[in-house]
Structure 1
Amino acid sequence: MRAVEIQEYGGPEVLKVVETEVPRPGAGQVSIDVAYTGVNFADLKARGEGYRVPSLPFVPGLEVSGRVREVGAGVEGLTVGQVVAALTAGGAYADVAVAERETVFPLPPTLDLRTAATLPTVLPTAYALVHSVGRLQPGETLLVQGAAGGIGTVVGQLARAAGAGSVYGVVSSAAKAEFARGYGYDEVFVGEFEAPVRAATGGRGVDLALDPVGGETLRRSLASLATFGRLVSFGNASSAAPWQVGQPELYPGALSVSGFSILTLAQTDPTALRALTERAFATVVDGTVSLPVTAEFGLEEAAEAHRVMGARASTGKLLLRVAQG
């Protein structure tokens, strides 16, 4: 079968399409004939920095849609040929991927494989940020970094559906700002946001800020909170040094800081992940949320997909089309 391997760390050019053995599922696992694979920023960090890479060579990719190829020992409730979406621990840039049973989700007839590939990482992450961790309440204000990306577009819609008072986004270009406004945002700031947020909220700040960037952006997001405000960190796209926050930052405004990682949750509490994902998927089925696919690449074009995402020029969701024919 075909797979895209990282054989050394570096730029997009290190992604190599190779022929390799078809993986077999172990106990409690399922193998999937992949139709589509989602491209995520974590894949770029794996390629460039070794993020969550146990050893080389490594096949990146965290989410797929397709059909069950084979079920391992002890797997119940799934059958060969069944249409599914799945969260994987790598290995998704390939014709066949393996996932743990707890992170494989049968698809309802209303969800096509292309749409389904956008969901396993983005949708439950966005749902957790708004509801499970962020605990957004009706009337509250929200600030979202990366508002035009996959998670950002879903967060905007979920927040609006939850009755948010105002939803503010931050992006890196005017084109992205225009795109994000179509997904639930009242105002979208380009680049600098701390002073504009204060101005937009009459000096008060926001109730909830969501940050996948880290570093200085995280500190400015914290400084943009209202009294009793909450910050959720869900990534470190800046690759900044680990951040610390303590009494001087938190006590004056009675602020709270929390974190979320869907990959870590999959390892530490797969049952909680499954419940979260099922609730999140329901928002697509009932029409609350749509996730735009803005670019699609062949498996052999994985390097180009990484170049597009790495240039910070992309909006919405990028996919690799894997199934041939």
Structure 2
Amino acid sequence: MRAVRFQEYGGPEVLKTVEADVPEPGPGQVSVDVAYAGVNFADLKARSEGYRVGGLPYVPGLEVSGRIRAVGAGVEGLAVGQEVAALTDGGGYAEVTVADAVTVFPLPAGVGLRTAATLTTVLPTAYALVHSVGRLRSGETVLVQGAAGGVGTVVGQLARAAGAGAVYGVVSSAPKAAYAKDHGYDEVFVGAFEQPVRQATGGRGVDLALDPVGGETLRASLDSLAAFGRLVSYGNASSAAPWTAGPPELYPLGRSVAGFSILSLTTTAPAELRRLAERAFEKAVDGTVSLPVTAEFALAEAAQAHRLMGARTSTGKLLLRVAD
């Protein structure tokens, strides 16, 4: 089979298309003939700095859609030929991949394979940020970093549907701001955001801030919270040193900080992940949210997809087309 892998860390050029052995599922696993693979920033961090890479060579790719090829021992409720979306522990940039059955989801009625490839990481993450972890209440205000990315696109829509009083986004360019305003955002700030947030909220700050960037951006998001505000960290795109928050930052205004990682949840609480994903997928089926595919590449063009995402000019979701 064809797969895209890297044998050293570096830029997009280290991604190479190779012939590889077809993986077989072990107990509790299924193999999937991949139709589409999602491209995520975690894939870029894996390629450039070894994020979540157990060893080299490594095939990136954390989410796919396709049809079940084979079923391992002990798997129930899944069958060969069934159309599914799946979270993987790497290996998605390939014609065949293997996933634990608990992270394999039969497609909801009316959802095709192309759309399904946009859902597996983004939609449950966005749902958790707004509801399970962020606990957004009607009338509250939200601040979202990376508002034009995959998660940001869905968060804006979910927050609006949940009755948010106002949804503010932060992006890196004017074209991204225009895109975000079409997906649930009231105002979108380009670059610096602390003063604009204070002005937009009459000096109060926001009730919920969602941050995948880390570093100084996370600190600024924390400082943008209102009394009793909540910050949810769900990534470290900046690759900054681990952050800490203690009494000086939290006590005076009763602020709180939480974290979320869907990739960690696959191993720490897979049953909770499954329940979360099922609730989240309902929002796509009922039309509450949509996630546009803004660029699609052939499997052998994975390096081009990484260059586009790495340039921070992309919006929405990027996909690799593996099979028709």
Within 5 Å, give how 1:17-28 maps onto structure 2: 17-28=17-28
After alignment, is 167-176 or 101-110 more displaced? 101-110
Correspondence for 1:87 = 87
Q: Does 1:121 align with 2:121?
A: yes
Correspondence for 2:251 = 251
Cα deviations by residue, 1:95-144 (Å, 9 ceiling, x for unpaired): 00100000000012300100000000000000000000000000000000
Correspondence for 2:146 = 146
- Counterpart code for 1:198: R
Distance 1:224 1:268 in 2: 31
Correspondence for 1:262 = 262
Within 5 Å, give how 1:152-301 maps onto structure 2: 152-301=152-301
Correspondence for 2:55 = 55
- Counterpart code for 1:9: Y
Cα deviations by residue, 1:163-202 (Å, 9 ceiling, x for unpaired): 0000000000000000000000000000000000000000
Q: Does 1:309 align with 2:299?
A: no
Tell me how far 1:253 sits from its aligned partner. 1.0
Distance 2:99 2:146 in 1: 28
Tell me how far 1:287 sits from its aligned partner. 0.5
Distance 2:291 2:88 in 1: 20
After alignment, is 101-110 or 233-242 more displaced? 101-110
Distance 1:108 1:127 in 2: 17
Distance 1:236 1:109 in 2: 35
Correspondence for 1:70 = 70
Distance 2:40 2:186 in 1: 26
Correspondence for 2:9 = 9
Distance 1:98 1:280 in 2: 23
Partner-residue secondary structure (3-state), 1:210: strand
Correspondence for 1:97 = 97
Distance 1:93 1:106 in 2: 20
Tell me how far 1:10 sits from its aligned partner. 0.1
Distance 1:302 1:313 in 2: 16
Partner-residue secondary structure (3-state), 1:128: helix
Distance 1:6 1:85 in 2: 24
RMSD: 0.5
- Counterpart code for 1:132: S
Tell me how far 1:305 sits from its aligned partner. 0.2
- Counterpart code for 1:56: L
Cα deviations by residue, 1:239-273 (Å, 9 ceiling, x for unpaired): 00000111101111110000000000111010000
Partner-residue secondary structure (3-state), 2:232: strand
Tell me how far 1:6 sits from its aligned partner. 1.3
TM-score normalised over the length of structure 1:
0.99
Correspondence for 1:321 = 321
Distance 1:156 1:109 in 2: 24
Distance 2:174 2:95 in 1: 37
* Greater than 2 Å deviation, 4+ residue runs: none
Correspondence for 1:30 = 30
TM-score normalised over the length of structure 2:
1.00
Partner-residue secondary structure (3-state), 1:109: coil
- Counterpart code for 2:149: G
- Counterpart code for 2:235: G
- Counterpart code for 1:165: G
Distance 1:206 1:108 in 2: 35
Structure 2: gaps (5+ residues): none
- Counterpart code for 1:29: Q
Structure 1: gaps (5+ residues): none
Distance 1:97 1:274 in 2: 20
Partner-residue secondary structure (3-state), 1:183: coil
- Counterpart code for 2:186: D
